[in-house]
Structure 1
Amino acid sequence: MSAWGISRYGFFFGIRGLSNYNLSCCVNSLLQSLFATSELVELLQRWDPAGSGEDRRNVPLQLKRTFADMKSDRPQTAPHRNFLHSLDQNRVRLNVQHDADEVFLSILHFIQQQMDDKALALEIQNLYKIAVETCLQCLKCSSVQTRSSYTLTLPLHVKEDEDSLEGCISSFLTEQLLTDVDSCFCEQCGAKTPSKWRLKLLSLPPILCVHLKRFRSISGETRKLDCKVTFPERFDFSEVAQDAFPPDAAKKAGVYTLYAVVVHSGFAMFGHYTAFIHHRETQRWYYANDSHVEEASWEEVQQTYGGYRRHTAYMLMYRRDSKQEGQQSELSG
């Protein structure tokens, strides 16, 4: 039977399964999502790691080689132990349960730190870079302090009742009043004063990674929120948060289409990660559960909204429509 046929183990329409090796389900789901990010795969293909030799600690080198193995049409799981061991040697340990968002950010950090082609490494960072500006206004003297920074994922607080991605984004960007113990130091007043805090978006990246913060520490115990959070397959960011951008920039924010969902099943301290992937060539959804890969539907992806089961979306990866890349370049400039 052709490897591009209906095999459900190891390989399915160009998606190779990944064996669960020493509790690697978290990394497996991220690898499937990163491999579905063709922009990242292409940038790593351009990298000539001549100076890296056989460095087993070099995470981007082992990631590049793992991607090459995942592209193979051999009908078995892709070998990725070297990548897992490179993470382990950089203190993302094997045999330990990890948080997918933390591991994702660690991989991007290692790429910046360990790639010898710094220009290419910067291109990779810019795939995910969300430029933000925080504004803090003193309510006593009206002075304003601003600070520009960036984040590589959009960390969204999840309510304990029903919510939506659009609602989470709006809450994330809503102005906050800081008083009493939350008061901030005002340089003008020389003391802690009540203030207003606001976040503005200076630019959005080609790949928008959303982290739904479902884990919460309550009375010293970490628990998972399985509440319902809906998310669209496609949305216009400018319609969700018009006031969060500089003047005349909201219309350039872009339309984003979902292509990967990292899913967490189970409890905070004992769980399992899988991933839904939208294949660019077949235009179909697939479900990757370690070595097991099968075709899926959008309705099955929607079942990860939560609310009645512990099989919940934890990270969402959206791709901005290519026709708007030129507009976003203007916004960034």
Structure 2
Amino acid sequence: MCERIFSVFSNCRMRDYFGMRGLTNYHLSCCVNTLLQTFSATWEVGDLLDKWETASVRADCVPLQLKNVLAAMRNDHQFVPHRAFLHSLDKNSVQLNTQHDADEVFLSILNFMQLQMDDKPLALEIQNLYKISVETYLQCLECTSVQTLTSYLLGLPLHVKEDHDSLEDCMTSFFEYQELKGINCCFCAECGKKTPSKQGVKLLSLPRILCVNLKRYRNGRGFTRKLDCRVTFPETFDCSETPNEAISADFVQDEFRYTLHAVVVHSGNAMCGHYTAYVRNRRNQGWYYADDSHVKPSSWEEVQTTYGGENRGTAYMLMYRRGQKEEVQQPELSG
């Protein structure tokens, strides 16, 4: 996707609100700038990276540069080295001067942390922040025997419909089973033949950070189009209200409440657009809007304008944190 090019301002002119830092648009970087804002709002990632000893790590290491830029974004008086992070991505095949999909870049960054961090237990802790454990099942409709396979996702890819939709509706559709009949019949070991069956996915566990990707793009007839239809989502929701058929019998979890803390927004169409973000500030729990170098206070009412509609920016990725809202942190005083 293409993006609009914004004027480049020096970091000293960027506006700071309780540590919220703007990032200049550098070689079509609004996609990565937006993701950096969401990683900064997901403070658990920066806290874990701060524990990583990096004395012998190469300069083009993506997680090293992510550690540096997130630390700088927390410091009200420090230059933000996000260009170094962009160049590290460029050297690892996420190229500058190229249009990217935010969800694909997000997953690539998580993958680089697994591949390039020499502290593997710490890398696994970061991955576990986002890991959704699922059980894929295949049940024979003749003998009712069940085959299962356990795997994991780093985000929920939810397809939206072409009319009014909601996050709850999208999640319900994701966990609905499909019947496989006729030429789609699968082999059943108990029956010794191909039989009609039903296939679906159940949750085994949910992560601290639940990333939701609203799949607004459709491919057909040789081109890609974007769905601008309305998709509502709540500021908080309770996963215990998820339909029973979506939960595995082995699911064990005490806390089900999730609170939204970041929204990746896409404006434009599938071939030409721009990324921005709404993020919740850890210190005062207020909403802020980040558009490259420009950061300004916002509100939940403004976040709701990203539900969709013609000629509007639409929510593309949602980041929810498990548990109640964080306590407001007081700004650190410099000596």
- Scaled by the length of structure 1, what TM-score is found? 0.89
Is 1:127 aligned with 2:129? Answer: yes
Q: 1:290-329 alignment to 2 at 5 Å?
A: 290-321=292-323
Q: Which residue of the partner structure matches residue 11 of structure 1?
A: 16
Is 1:49 aligned with 2:48? Answer: no
Q: Give the Cα separation in 2 of the matches to 1:171 and 1:28.
A: 32
Is 1:22 aligned with 2:34? Answer: no
Is 1:61 aligned with 2:61? Answer: no
Q: Which residue of the partner structure matches residue 4 of structure 1?
A: none
Q: 1:162-177 alignment to 2 at 5 Å?
A: 162-177=164-179
Higher helix share: 1
Q: Which residue of the partner structure matches residue 205 of structure 1?
A: 207
State the secondary structure of the residue aligned to 2:56. Answer: helix
Q: Which residue of the partner structure matches residue 88 of structure 1?
A: 90
State the secondary structure of the residue aligned to 2:24. Answer: coil
Q: 1:249-264 alignment to 2 at 5 Å?
A: 249=251, 252=254, 254-264=256-266
Q: Give the Cα separation in 2 of the matches to 1:144 and 1:120.
A: 36
Q: Give the Cα separation in 2 of the matches to 1:107 and 1:36.
A: 16
Gap regions ≥5 residues in structure 1? 1-6, 324-333
Which of 42, 45, 51 aligns to 1:40? It is: 45
Q: Give the Cα separation in 2 of the matches to 1:105 and 1:212.
A: 15
Question: How much does 1:248 deviate?
Answer: 8.1
Q: Sort the Cα spacing of 1:273 and 1:254 in 2 relative to 1 into closer, same or farther, 3 A.
A: same
Query: What is the identity, as a one-letter code, of the residue corresponding to 2:293?
Result: S
Q: Output one character per residue of 1:145-191: Cα deviation in whole Å (capped at 9) or x when no partner.
A: 21000000011010111000011111111121123454444455666
Number of equivalenced pairs: 314
Q: Give the Cα separation in 1 of the matches to 2:196 and 2:222.
A: 29
Q: Sort the Cα spacing of 1:8 and 1:198 in 2 relative to 1 into closer, same or farther, 3 A.
A: farther
Is 1:230 aligned with 2:235? Answer: no
Q: Give the Cα separation in 1 of the matches to 2:308 and 2:138.
A: 35
Q: Output one character per residue of 1:71-119: Cα deviation in whole Å (capped at 9) or x when no partner.
A: 221387x331110011111111111111111110000000011001001
State the secondary structure of the residue aligned to 1:11. Answer: coil
Check conservation: 2:187, 2:193, Cα contact below 8 A: yes
Percent identity (aligned): 63
Question: How much does 1:142 deviate?
Answer: 3.4
State the secondary structure of the residue aligned to 1:102. Answer: helix
Q: Give the Cα separation in 2 of the matches to 1:8 and 1:178.
A: 59
Q: Output one character per residue of 1:179-236: Cα deviation in whole Å (capped at 9) or x when no partner.
A: 3454444455666543201211000000000000011102221110111000000000
Query: What is the identity, as a one-letter code, of the residue corresponding to 1:203?
Result: S
Q: Give the Cα separation in 2 of the matches to 1:255 and 1:295.
A: 26
Q: Sort the Cα spacing of 1:92 and 1:142 in 2 relative to 1 into closer, same or farther, 3 A.
A: same
Check conservation: 2:34, 2:292, Cα contact below 8 A: yes
- Worse-matched range after superposition: 314-323 or 187-196: 187-196
Q: 1:170-189 alignment to 2 at 5 Å?
A: 170-187=172-189
- Worse-matched range after superposition: 249-258 or 292-301: 249-258
Question: How much does 1:276 deviate?
Answer: 0.1
Q: Which residue of the partner structure matches residue 328 of structure 1?
A: none
Question: How much does 1:137 deviate?
Answer: 1.4
Query: What is the identity, as a one-letter code, of the residue corresponding to 1:41?
Result: G
Check conservation: 1:238, 1:250, Cα contact below 8 A: no
Q: Sort the Cα spacing of 1:223 and 1:180 in 2 relative to 1 into closer, same or farther, 3 A.
A: farther
